[in-house]
Amino acid sequence: MRIQRAKVRIILQFTIYNLQLLQKRCVFWQIVLSNFCFLRNSPYLCPPKPIFARNMVLNYIWIAFFVIAFVIALFRLVFMGDMEVFPEMMNSTFDTSKTAFEISLGLTGVLSLWLGIMKIGEQGGVINLFARLLSPIFTKLFPEIPKGHPVTGSIFMNIAANMLGLDNAATPLGLKAMEQLQELNKAPLTPPQEGEASKRQAQEQGASGVSPIGGGGRGDTASNSMIMFLVLNTSGLTLIPVSILVYRAQMGAAQPTDVFIPILLATFFSTLAGIVVTSIYQRINLLNRTILLTLGGLCAAVAGIIWGFSQMPKDQMNTVSTLVANILLMVVIVSFILAGVRKRVNVYDAFIEGAKEGFQTAVRIIPYLVAILVGIGVFRASGAMDMLIDGIGWCVTACGGNTDFVGALPTALMKPLSGSGARGMMVDAMTQYGADSFVGRLSCIFQGSTDTTFYILAVYFGSVGIKNTRHAVPCGLLADLAGIIAAIAIAYLFFG
């Protein structure tokens, strides 16, 4: 009955809409186009697609692995007489399936350890501590959010959870923040938001009459605050890249933590680029005293770290980097335990609770890892991966560049599209070249320097019905590009 009334209401609106068009003396093609747009936006006549239907990128990539591999293998068989290519492809499916299961099984112990430690930190109030530390800079980056609004806490806690690698906690907090930002996006500008925000609204509103900022906007158009929030998510700022260290340990790296400092540096540059580019789009004053002191201080610290390491011989650099990384990780473990003790948390029970999640996570990723590694294995066995890498290498050589990094590029190219796909590329690179090779280490830095841009935008925007994403995609991709360039440069500095 409710649906019937809604349809009657739509028909009445449609009729009134056409009468208004006739009153304005619109020509025939304008009426047809306007009616198409009206019907296209109707939730009953053209219901929106579910979130999972919008994010089919990995599906297409996985299909492409097999189709391209089959076509190339067939070409090699028919025109080159290669009788071994199809047996090699089939053998690769069995080998990579076994490898995926062994990797997942080996992840169980270390993943349980770190998720247990993270659970202690979560219950010990570490996320709230990070939220308070980030508060001064974040209030300047989100000027449209009213002071004291609950969304501020959700944003802070989401970013803090991401920095600590708590994906299970970060996603619900992020979706909650998007819901609250959408409420602000639909709400009219309140008196505290007038002034600078309303001036910017008048400048950016333009001929469309649609306000793009966090108040008085249209419900299907992303606000500035939404875009800044998602760019910070897609830039992948992480202090503790637990999963990457776990994979390196499982793949037999002599020092799994030797990429810890390089990942921190690369993800810093990615996040910095995302903040700067988005601030330029949104006309946020980067010369503000708080922003200048925060970003300037962080840049100076990073520059000092890079300069200090650049003065060391390669062997000493790797030794010092590994030592510092292990000290920092041990400090994190002890600090989280002490935070739990301070909050009177039963630390042991909290660890067991988190460790159970680690076991479940290790089991849950088996089918995903099998799927992506088998696809990559077939793609590589057919010779398609070598053709891709050789083609990129030829282009780099033609430009006079060094090609050592080319073998790790598939991880970088896959990361904005799919986290599990990039993880598979990283594991494949370490399998083919070695966990302690330059390519193996660089693929790990690529994996940790950015995040899955398209997946994050699809899920977060889809959860609140945003259709017009404005400058979210270019800002996210520019942050990814900055992370990739920084990862290559830092890898050459530490391991080249």
DSSP state of 156: H
Paired tokens of 240:
């503790």
Q: Is the pLDDT of residue 339 over 70?
A: yes
Q: Per DSSP, what are the bridge partners of residue 238?
A: none
More confident residue, 208 or 136: 136
Pick from 264-278, 299-313, 359-373 the range whose average pLDDT is largest.
264-278
Whether 101 shows a pLDDT value over 90: the answer reads no
Top-confidence residue, 313 or 29:
313
Please report the pLDDT score of residue 24 as a whole number: 52
Averaged pLDDT, 212-226: 69
Residue 142, pLDDT > 70, answer yes
Q: How far apart are CA 187 and CA 180, in angstroms?
A: 11
How far apart are the C-alpha atoms of 172 and 256, rounded to whole Å? 30
Residue 112 has pLDDT above 90, yes or no: no
- Ranges 281-285, 343-347, 397-401: which has the least confidence: 397-401
Report the range of poorest mean pLDDT among 130-134, 135-139, 460-464. Answer: 130-134
Taking CA atoms, 112 is separated from 325, 327, 428, 430, in Å, by 20, 21, 23, 23
Task: Count the neighbouring beta carbons within 10 Å of the beta carbon of residue 356.
Answer: 14
Q: What is the DSSP string of 421-440?
A: HHHHHHHHHHHHH-TTSHHH
- Separation between Cα atoms, residue 104 and residue 93, nearest integer Å: 17
Q: Give the model's pLDDT for residue 30.
A: 46
pLDDT for position 366: 80
On the question of pLDDT at 263 being above 60, the answer is yes
DSSP per position, 99-148:
HHHHHHHHHHHHHHHHHHHHHHHHHTTHHHHHHHHHHHHHHHH-TTSPTT
The two three-digit tokens of residue 137, written as one number: 């800079």
For residue 180, pLDDT beyond 90: no
Q: Is the pLDDT of residue 75 over 60?
A: yes
For residue 232, is pLDDT > 50? Answer: yes
Q: Which residue has the higher pLDDT, 164 or 44?
A: 164
Q: What is the DSSP string of 379-406?
A: HHHTTHHHHHHHHHHHHHHHTT---TTG
pLDDT band at 437 (very low <50, low <70, confident <90, very high): very high
> Of the ranges 87-101, 328-342, 454-468, which one carries the lowest mean pLDDT score?
454-468
